[in-house]
Amino acid sequence: MQFPAFALALLLAPLLALPASAAPVLRIQGSNTIGAELGPALVRALLQQQGATNISTRPGTLANEVHINGDDARGQPLDVDLAAHGSSTGFAALKIGDADLAASSRPINEREVKNLQSLGDLKSSEAEQVIAIDGVAVIVHPDNPIRQLSTAQLAQLFSGELTSWDSLGGKGPVHLYARDDQSGTWETFRELVLAPRGKALWASARRLESSEQLSDEVSHDPQAIGFIGLPYVRQARALAIADGAGQPMLPTRSLIATEDYPLSRRLFFYLPPERSNPWAQALVRFTQSEQGQAIVAQAGFIAQTVQAIDVAATPRMPATYRDLARQAQRLSVNFRFAEGSATLDNKARADLQRVIGYLARHNKLKSQVTLVGFGDEKDDPERARLLSRLRAMAVRRELVRQGVVLRDVQGLGSEMPVAGNDLDEGRIKNRRVEVWVY
């Protein structure tokens, strides 16, 4: 949800009246992807928003830990602690009371939800806050001749089934680089690439906690392949990735924003409903504001700000979709649904407000919007088209409730998949609704 500057200031103003204490006013633990740069940048901006002065950042006693200090309006010290040792460590810290906010580069799992149920429902829309979109980029040395791989080939490489580049068009042995076991980047890669195919990471892979170090080492090793969050590609080269029948896709900003890129992922803050920390609440609100999302973009991630994208019409597209691409622009958001449900997921519910705001600002509330639904493959193509249209109608209902008059609603069934339909993860990703504006 976007907050006007004056409204955000009103929300944050009471915090400077909190009593000063030697203890940190806010403790964040979890994802290195978030904690390396984005988390500290958001905290510093929040403190500035509150009128704090003398803001400084100093390293903690361990690697990937920082303390951000400043003085409040009364000259009293403020201290915010960030520890970025991996997404799972954030949930563990919530459990024992060592963190007020968990940063995670993958969704909370059912075991963690159950383990933390005393803190409230961490899968609720209030607790689970998508703060940015990222893509896990698969990177190689700049001189590697390989330009694209499938997720199936990635699974073979990282499980050690393929140990030489020769069979893929390169030369020499493959050197694997992977994030450590606590990393949300590793957990995302494992869940999207290895686990669905019953494979495990090869024991010879070099494991690293630092995103920057992994990228730098790949860029200096001609035989290397690794995976990393989008902002950390640095001097390495990212490959185009294909999943199932989907087309190979580079981790471009538009394909990650719509979550079409096969290894796209969401970045989260988890705010415990039953353990209210006003600074944690303020940071979440600030991050979702226009200013906060601008910082997300500056850090190299994909902001959730809605934009219109030109899409080139190609012969591979269905005729109706090709006509749409020639006449309209696609918005940088896809509506997706809770697993096993026709209910919009938490991000989609927030995106509804973002889309409505965009339509209002651009005078497109009346007959300027077409929704296009897609789905996974079914034995009966007509059933697939019906289900995809019903998904689009579910989005239509929510938009109509808030005054939007639709121009058209289409269902294209299982056409134009962005992922394979042989695995649950791919089928869920293919069940989506696009928004087009004239």
| pLDDT digit string, tens, across residues 149-181 | 999 999 999 999 999 999 999 999 999 999 999
Regarding the domain delimited by 5-131+267-298, which CATH topology (the fold level of the hierarchy) does it fall under?
D-Maltodextrin-Binding Protein; domain 2 (3.40.190)
pLDDT digits (tens, 9 = 90+) for 367-411: 999 999 999 999 999 999 999 999 999 999 999 999 999 999 999
Average pLDDT for residues 206-216, to the nearest whole number?
95
pLDDT of 421 above 50 = yes
Name the token pair of 227: 């995976």
d(CA 8, CA 49): 9
Portions of the chain given CATH number 3.40.190.10: 5-131+267-298, 134-257
| Inter-residue contact 31 to 40 (CB < 8 Å) | no
Mean pLDDT of the chain: 93
Burial class for 406, CB neighbours closer than 10 Å (0-12, 13-18, 19+) = middle
| Inter-residue contact 65 to 81 (CB < 8 Å) | yes
d(CA 222, CA 225): 9
Portions of the chain given CATH number 3.30.1330.60: 306-437
Q: Which residue has the higher pLDDT, 425 or 359?
A: 359
pLDDT digits (tens, 9 = 90+) for 229-241: 999 999 999 999 9
- Considering the segment(s) 306-437 as one domain, its CATH architecture is 2-Layer Sandwich (3.30)
Burial class for 276, CB neighbours closer than 10 Å (0-12, 13-18, 19+) = exposed
SS3 354: helix
pLDDT digits (tens, 9 = 90+) for 37-86: 999 999 999 999 999 999 999 999 999 999 999 999 899 999 999 999 99
Q: pTM for the complete prediction?
A: 0.84
| Inter-residue contact 411 to 389 (CB < 8 Å) | yes
pLDDT value at residue 341: 74
pLDDT value at residue 422: 82
Task: Look at domain 134-257 and name its CATH class.
Answer: alpha beta
